[in-house]
Structure formats: structure tokens, C-alpha cells
Amino acid sequence: MDLFEGLKAKISGKEISVVFPEGNDLRIIGAAVRLAADKLIKPVLLGDPKEIHDLGAKNGFVTDLVTIIDPENFEDRQKLVDGFVERRAGKATREQAEELMNNYNYFGTMLTYMGYVDAMVSGAVHSTGDTVRPALQIIKTKPGISRTSGSFIMAKRNETYLFADCAININPNAQELAEIAVASAKTAELFGIEPVVAMMSFSTKGSAKSPDVEKVIEATKIAQELAPEYEIDGELQFDAAFVPSVAKLKSPESNVAGRAKVFVFPEIQSGNIGYKIAQRLGGYEAIGPILQGLNKPVSDLSRGCNEEDVYKLSIITAAQTLID
């Protein structure tokens, strides 16, 4: 069973609801209608109902299958305003809350936070910052996690790996890097990827010395203490983490070297470059970014996404609601 067939089986019948703030985007409409028709999730589109229905009809989509909420006329709008003011605890006035509820990403995030829906998918039109900022202010991170992170599932035929953090944290410290490692292990486990985690570096077990290497060594120790149930090791170069024959030479004592499935990069530059090399030169499909560590799932689409990308990331987002 491939990755998405497995995820479909996990979420089917669970009636997981996902809100899409960019409800008048044709890619979103098409994916939402498919998801509803396949009975995988309950899509909720934000926007003007007539505009969405008309756009859908012109393109052959039966939008009666999805729920549409007009934020301007939502009957519980004032509850969202009150909830936002309370959640921000003195950092926003009621007038500011009223204004922010006109922003569909904030509105959708509040629907998620207050339990009207289970998760949110945005980013087809908006930037990552526009999607992530409301989530960090309102939904916030899980206990023990200081910040969210972004991972990519890298898939090609029967090979599936997880790369993190490739999207959010520019230069995490050792504690943050350890938290990213643990969150990535949990994400991998959910998606049927063996949670064998390599902490990446340009050094393998002391082959080079630098503050950057020391950060990875410290992060590895912290991650092992935080989650002893997972196999986590570092610092490892990519070849030592990935190639069994190289692992025997460079790190024969490691239980991770040569068999890693989850690759945690030391900062965003190497993570972003690494996943794009795998995607463009290696022919892997890059699915994500999947935002990790939030109290409720919020996913960030690429603005260059197509309908199939929206469909797949929505399935992944729905599956994240099943993580403890």
C-alpha cells in the first residue's frame, strides 16, 4: 500500500473537517470537491458563497458537496472576536480583533482553534508568513516544543523519507534542533516512515571541529533524552547516514548510520537546498511543507501548487489530527 492509500485508509470515516481560507481559488475548489466526493474529509471553504458556486459551476465542479462560510456573515463571528481577544491576553484590542477577522487566514485559524473545524490548509495565494503567523499567535505550539518546524515527505516509487526543517527556522539552536528531531520522528511514524533519525552535519562523529558541529552534537544528546523511544543519532554526514557501506567505514558503532529515514538538517539553508536537490536532480516528489509541533494542524501550500498538491497536502493535514 503506498503512502497516500495508507493515509486515506486512516482518515476515511473519521469526518475530519479542514478549512480552506482561499476558498475562491480554483485549485482549492477542485481539490475540496474531490476530497468531499471521496469521503475523505469535510472541506470548509471561506469566501462569498455565490462567487464560489459560480466559479465552480463554470469549471464543472459540484460545490454543493462542500460547506462554504462567508466570514462577513458568520453567525458566530462575535464568538471568534471574543475568543481572539481572550487568547491574545492583552496583546489585541477588540477593535483590532474585529479587523483581523476580516483576514481569512486569521478567521480560519480561529475556526480551528475554537473547534469549529479540525485543521486548516492555506498558502496557495498567501505567503508562508501569512499562514504561519496566525497559527503561532492563536493555536501555538504543543507543550515541550518552543517553535513549529516544516518537514517534507520525499517520495519516489517505494522509497519514502522525511527532511526537516526545510521551511521555518533559519538557524535553530541545539534545544530547538532537538525538538525538531523529535517532532519529525513523530511525523514520520504517522506516515509509515520508520522513525530512524539522522542529525545532519558536514562532520561524522568528530571528523571535523566547529561550533556548528558542536550544536548538532548537543542537539543529538538532547533529542535522545527527550525521546529515548526513537533511534536518533548524530552528527552524521549524509553519505554516512544513508549508505550502509559508508556507514561501516565512518560510523560503525551507530545504530542509525546507513539506515536513516528521517534527516534533520542543522539550519534552513542546507535543508532547503537538500530537499530541492533531491526533488530536481533525484526525481523525488516533495510533499509539504508539513508544519510540525502545533496544537492543531495547519499546513502551508506553495503558491505554485496545483490541485493535486492541495488534495495530497489536505490528506496529510487531516492525518495529523490523529497524532497524540
| CATH number where 186 lies | 3.40.50.10750
Short-list 321, 316, 306, 320, CA closest to 29: 306
Residues 133, 157 within the same domain: no
User: Domain limits at 65?
Assistant: 3-140+294-320
Residues 194, 313 within the same domain: no
Confirm whether 285 is domain-assigned.
no
User: Span 180-191, mean pLDDT?
Assistant: 92
- Of the CA atoms within 13 Å of residue 132, those in its CB half-sphere come to 19
pLDDT digits (tens, 9 = 90+) for 232-266: 999 999 999 999 999 999 999 999 999 999 999 99
User: Span 82-105, mean pLDDT?
Assistant: 92
- Regarding beta strands 262-264 and 196-200, do their DSSP bridges make them parallel or antiparallel, or are they unpaired? parallel
User: Span 2-13, mean pLDDT?
Assistant: 86
- Supply the pLDDT for residue 92: 87
Is residue 30 over pLDDT 90?
yes
Backbone angles phi, psi at 217, to 5 degrees: -60, -45
Query: Which DSSP letter does residue 115 get?
Result: T
Residues 156, 92 within the same domain: no
- Supply the pLDDT for residue 175: 95
- Supply the pLDDT for residue 268: 95
Residues 161, 253 within the same domain: yes
Confirm whether 127 is domain-assigned.
yes
Residues 275, 305 within the same domain: no
Is residue 227 over pLDDT 70?
yes
- Supply the pLDDT for residue 290: 87
Residues 37, 105 within the same domain: yes
- Supply the pLDDT for residue 207: 92
Residues 201, 236 within the same domain: yes
With beta carbons less than 8 A apart as the criterion, state whether 187 and 234 touch.
no
Of 87-91, 140-144, 228-232, the one with minimum mean pLDDT is: 140-144
Residues 272, 167 within the same domain: yes
User: Span 144-160, mean pLDDT?
Assistant: 88
User: Span 208-234, mean pLDDT?
Assistant: 96
- Supply the pLDDT for residue 324: 61
Give the CATH number for residue 17: 3.40.50.10950
Confirm whether 182 is domain-assigned.
yes
Confirm whether 261 is domain-assigned.
yes
Is residue 17 over pLDDT 80?
yes
Average pLDDT, the chain: 93
**Sorting pLDDT into bands at 50, 70 and 90, what band is 305?**
confident
Residues 153, 232 within the same domain: yes
- Supply the pLDDT for residue 301: 87
Q: How many domains does the chain have?
A: 2
Residues 234 and 277: their CA atoms lie apart, in Å, by: 22
Number of H helices, E strands in the chain: 13, 11
- Supply the pLDDT for residue 66: 95
Backbone angles phi, psi at 40, to 5 degrees: -95, -45
- Supply the pLDDT for residue 142: 86
Choice between 58 and 1, residue whose per-residue pLDDT is larger = 58
Confirm whether 288 is domain-assigned.
no
Is residue 1 over pLDDT 80?
no
Confirm whether 72 is domain-assigned.
yes
Cβ neighbours of residue 86 closer than 8 Å, sequence gap 6 or more: none
Residues 7, 123 within the same domain: yes
- Supply the pLDDT for residue 284: 94
Residues 7, 110 within the same domain: yes
Confirm whether 287 is domain-assigned.
no
- Supply the pLDDT for residue 132: 87
Choice between 112 and 288, residue whose per-residue pLDDT is larger = 112
* Continuous segment of H or E residues that includes residue 5: helix 3-11
**Sorting pLDDT into bands at 50, 70 and 90, what band is 127?**
confident
- Supply the pLDDT for residue 5: 85
**Sorting pLDDT into bands at 50, 70 and 90, what band is 144?**
confident
**Sorting pLDDT into bands at 50, 70 and 90, what band is 146?**
confident
Residues 8, 130 within the same domain: yes
Confirm whether 256 is domain-assigned.
yes
Task: Please report which residue ranges of 191-267 form alpha helices under DSSP H.
Answer: 211-226, 238-242, 244-250
